[in-house]
Structure 1
Amino acid sequence: MSYNVVVCDDENIQVNTINRYIKKVAGEINIKVNITNSNTGEELLQKVNDNIVSIKDTYIFFLDIEMKGMDGVQLAKKINSINKDAIVVYITGFKDYALKAFEVRAFNYLMKPVLYEDFKHIFIEVLNRLKEIYYRIEKEKEFVIENRGDIRKIKYDDIYYFEKILRKVKLVHKNGEIEFYMTLKKLKANIDMDNFTQCHQSFIVNNDKIDSYKNREIHMKDIKYNIPVSKRWISEVKNTLSHKIFN
């Protein structure tokens, strides 16, 4: 996973310092980061209008409070109006300004000159908070089924697996089963495959519902049903399990 980070400060020295710190922490904990820099709030919003950066897809913001034109508090309010989950960390040279951070539910603040250890501590806290946000977003995702005018929404968190049976797909979820007409190719295009793994020509399983894998069978959580794993998909299943273990 790659994390999008925005740094906005009217001092280039400060921007360069924060960039260096971000990359250093990323290297130490082995994550990827994409950084967008701006010197004013207006410049950042112009980059949003020009599709250079998407606030909806960015959750980490390091903002200077006192900037020419739009200040950090005003900028944070605009960011929060677009992305309510945005994590804002203020950078300031004045403690009095730090109190304004709480006007927009700022996550924390850093005092200038920013020291690396202080930055690292807060950046790690930000990443931990972001994991909680991602977890909630994953829980809220839904699969929408439209069949002859009937629309059903099933949360990803309630889905165990999909099984292809002739021309239909059977969806097994915590409250029962639903069958609908669809190819697995179209199904995979309509669900977020970061949450699911195809393990057989007829089966796609919810990664979070996998309990264990043994003898080319997936043992599911909560239900007494083992799903076969074809030789073709063994490596994908093992990659999914490795990701679950290390994340």
Structure 2
Amino acid sequence: MGYKIAICDDSDIDRKYVNDMVCHWAKDNGYMIHVDEFPSAESFLFKYEDENDYDIILLDIEMDGMDGVTLAKRLRKVNENIQIVFITGYSDYIAEGYEVAALHYLMKPVKEGKLLSVLDRASDKLQKNEKVLNFDVNGEMVRVPIYQIRYVEVYGNYVTIHAQQELTVKMTLGEVEKQLDDRFYRVGRSSIVNLTQISRVTKSDIKLSDGTLIHLPRGSYDGVNRAIINMG
């Protein structure tokens, strides 16, 4: 297993400190890693134009020039898969992390145990995101990464997969459900929802981050919330 990791922080001392811990994590887990350090958001973006294959970015928020939250927003527009970990001396920015689906916030000074735990989570998510579903659409094989699926809904003998593109295929909801993982929750008989895409749950509806509303059957409210809490 190999990962390409960026450390973006305007403090030379903090970058080296984090880099040492990242290398320790990789050695303990037998991972091959490539680590690049960047003293500013602008320097990272310059490199990213040519090399946009970073798996994880450990990102300071308070930097001269472009701040880390602004960089994360720009990254997320073009890359859904990169794992963003904010490093900050303040807790004021946590709400903004939801907008860019940040994996975690680490408070300075970063504790090694917490960083290693977050890197383990990032690795798990990246491995999950490698999984794809294969669908036969009009005689053509279409591959859909599981993490791109927002929700699945059924109409009669067909299901529609809502991802970056919408696909309608002849199969049952149960057949799709068996191929998904613990990020997904079946909502009654008609739909399956990606728990990571949920922005709000009410007694009657689930609202996804793209604004989609999915009807929540009576008695399902507690189950959805438990699934979100228990999600690996």
TM-score by length of 2: 0.57
Aligned-pair CA distance for 1:143: 10
Q: Does 1:153 align with 2:149?
A: no
Distance in 2, Cα, partners of 1:32 & 1:84 = 23
Q: Counterpart of 1:85 in 2: which secondary structure?
A: coil
1:42-68: CA deviation from partner (whole Å, max 9, x where unpaired): 11111123x2x22xx222111001111
1:126-183: CA deviation from partner (whole Å, max 9, x where unpaired): 1111111111xx435x899xxxxxx9521469xxxxxxxxxxxxxxxxxxxxxxxxxx
Distance in 1, Cα, partners of 2:122 & 2:143 = 26
Flag as ranges the 4+ runs of structure 1 deviating above 6 A: none
| Aligned-residue identity in percent | 31
Distance in 1, Cα, partners of 2:22 & 2:86 = 15
Give the equivalent residue in structure 2 for 1:172: none
Aligned-pair CA distance for 1:100: 2.5
Aligned-pair CA distance for 1:87: 1.2
Q: Counterpart of 1:69 in 2: which secondary structure?
A: coil
Q: Which of the two has greater helix per residue?
A: 1
Give the equivalent residue in structure 2 for 1:83: 79
Q: Counterpart of 1:139 in 2: which secondary structure?
A: strand
Q: Is the 8 A contact 1:90 1:98 kept in 2?
A: no
Aligned-pair CA distance for 1:7: 0.9
Q: Does 1:19 align with 2:15?
A: no
Q: Is the 8 A contact 1:9 1:63 kept in 2?
A: yes
Give the aligned CA root-mean-square deviation in angstroms.
Answer: 2.2
Give the equivalent residue in structure 1 for 2:161: none
Structure 2 residue ranges without an equivalent (≥5): 145-232
1:209-234: CA deviation from partner (whole Å, max 9, x where unpaired): xxxxxxxxxxxxxxxxxxxxxxxxxx
Q: Does 1:99 align with 2:95?
A: yes
Give the equivalent residue in structure 1 for 2:133: 139
Aligned-pair CA distance for 1:26: 0.5
Number of equivalenced pairs:
144
Give the equivalent residue in structure 2 for 1:5: 5
Matching residue's letter, 1:139: L
Give the equivalent residue in structure 1 for 2:206: none
Matching residue's letter, 2:43: E
Q: Is the 8 A contact 1:7 1:15 kept in 2?
A: yes
Q: Which protein shows a greater Rg?
A: 1
Give the equivalent residue in structure 1 for 2:35: 35
Structure 1 residue ranges without an equivalent (≥5): 145-150, 158-247
Trace 1:51-66 onto structure 2 (pairs within 5 A): 51=50, 53-54=51-52, 57-66=53-62
Structure 1 residues 10 and 132, CA gap change in structure 2 (3 angstroms)? same
